Structure 1
Amino acid sequence: MDERVDEKILDFINEAEEKELRKDITNGLVKINNKFYEFEETEFFDGALKIYIPNTFEDMSEESRKFKYPSENRPEIIKCNEDGSIAITLKIIDSPLDDDHIEEIKGIMKLITQRLNPANIYFDEGIIEVDKKNIGYFDYKSSAIDDFLYNVMFFLEFQGKTLMGTFSCGYSEYKQWKDDIVFQILKTIKINKEVCSENN
C-alpha cells in the first residue's frame, strides 16, 4: 500500500479522534491545541452565575492582574491557566441593562475598543440565546507587548446591570478555541434567579 495513502488515512483518523475529544466541554476531557482540559461548572458572584471553565484555571495573581490589566477598572474575576496566557474574565458594570438592549451595548463596546485600539482586526459578532437570555458578543485580534491576542467580549443582563466577560488567548492558539470551545463556554452560562433576588 502507498505510504502516502497510509499517512492520509492516519491523518484522517487522528483528525476524527481529535474532533471526538473536542466535542463536549460538559462531558469529560477536551483536547485543545494538544493539551487536555477538564471543564467544570464554576460558581461566581456568590452562586448567582454559573459557567463551565477549565478546572485548572485559577485566580490570576495580584501582580499579573496589575500588569495585564493596568487600568484600576480591571475585572473583578480573572481566571487563567498556569502562565496567564489564556484567561476568562467577568465584570459587573454599574450600568442598567435589559435583554432588549444587548445589541446596543454590544455596538457601543465594539466602538470603544475600536477607538482605543484602531489596529484591532474584528471577525464575528452577534447575539445568541442561552438559558432564555440574550448574550451579545464580538471577537477580534489585538496586539500585546510581544504577541497578538485573540479576544472574545460578551455581554448580558445580570441583576439588572451589565455583565461583561472576556476570553483571551495567544493568537497562535485561537483557531481551536474559537472553532470548538468559546461558544460552548458561553452556552453553559446560567443565572441562578433565586440567588439574584436574594442578593438584590
Structure 2
Amino acid sequence: MKKIVLLLLTSCASLLMAARPASEIELVKKRVLSERVEVLIPKGFEVMTEQQMDFAYAHASSRPSVVFTNNNLVSLAFNYSDNDADQDMVQVYQDNFAKAYHKQYKQTTWFGEGVKEVGNRKVGYLEFMKPEMGHEVYTLVFFTDVQGKLLICTFNCADRQKPEWEPLAKRILNSLKANS
C-alpha cells in the first residue's frame, strides 16, 4: 500500500511540474555525452532508465544515446550518431531532414524549420506538431556537428503542454554548446 501511495504522489508531483507555467520551471546547465555537449535541462529531469528506454523506443528504428524526462510526460533526447558532420553539412542535413519529415508526417502542423546561429555554431531545427498514438505531440528537433559526428536532439511534449513548454524548448535549443 505504501508503494502505491508513493507512486501516486510521484505521479502527481510530475503532473504538477508539467502543468507549471514556463516561468516557474528552472533550467540548469548539464554536460552530456561524455562532456561533449553542454545544454540547459529542466531541473528535476532524470536520465531515462534502460527499462524506460526499452519501452519508449521498442518500435523505433533507432534509439537515442540518452534521454532526460520528467516521468515520460516531457522528454529531451540526445542521439550522438555515427554520421559524419561538420558546420558546412548542417544545411545539407536540415534540407534532407525537412524533406524526409514532410514526406513521412503528412498530417503534421509545421511551426518552423531552418538553420540558425547558436553560440557561433550552425544548428538546424524542425518544429512541428504531429499525431502519435491517438494524440498530438509537440516536437522540436535540433542538430549540429560535435567532434565530426552528427548530434540530434529531440524535445517532445503533449499538445496540451505546448504553451508551457515551447518557450523552454527554444531556450534549450539556444543554450546548446558543443565541444569541438
By the TM > 0.5 criterion, same fold?
A: yes
Partner of 1:79: 68
The count of corresponding residues between Structure 1 and Structure 2 is 161
| Structure showing greater relative contact order (alpha-carbon pairs closer than 8 Å, 6 or more residues apart) | 2
Moved more, 36-45 or 84-93: 36-45
- The percentage of aligned residue pairs carrying the same residue is 23
1:96-135 map, 5 Å = 96-135=84-123
Alignment partner of 1:34 is 2:23? no
> Of the candidates 111, 136, 150, which is equivalent to residue 148 of structure 1?
136
What is the TM-score with the length of structure 1 in the denominator?
Answer: 0.73
Q: Which runs of 5+ in 2 are unaligned?
A: 1-16
Moved more, 91-100 or 154-163: 91-100
- Residues of 1 paired with 2:109 and 2:84: CA distance? 29
The Cα offsets for residues 119-160 of structure 1, whole Å up to 9 and x where unpaired, read as 222221122211211101011111121321000111101111
The Cα offsets for residues 1-52 of structure 1, whole Å up to 9 and x where unpaired, read as xxxxxxxxxxxxxxxxxxxxxxxxxxxxxx9743532211111121121101
The Cα shift of 1:114 comes to 2.8
Over the residues paired in the alignment, what is the CA RMSD in angstroms?
A: 1.9
List, as ranges, runs of 4+ consecutive aligned residues in structure 1 with deviation greater than 3 Å.
none
Q: Which runs of 5+ in 1 are unaligned?
A: 1-30, 194-200
Partner of 2:158: 170
- Residues of 1 paired with 2:43 and 2:129: CA distance? 26
**Structure with max Cα Rg:** 1
Partner of 1:154, secondary structure, is: strand
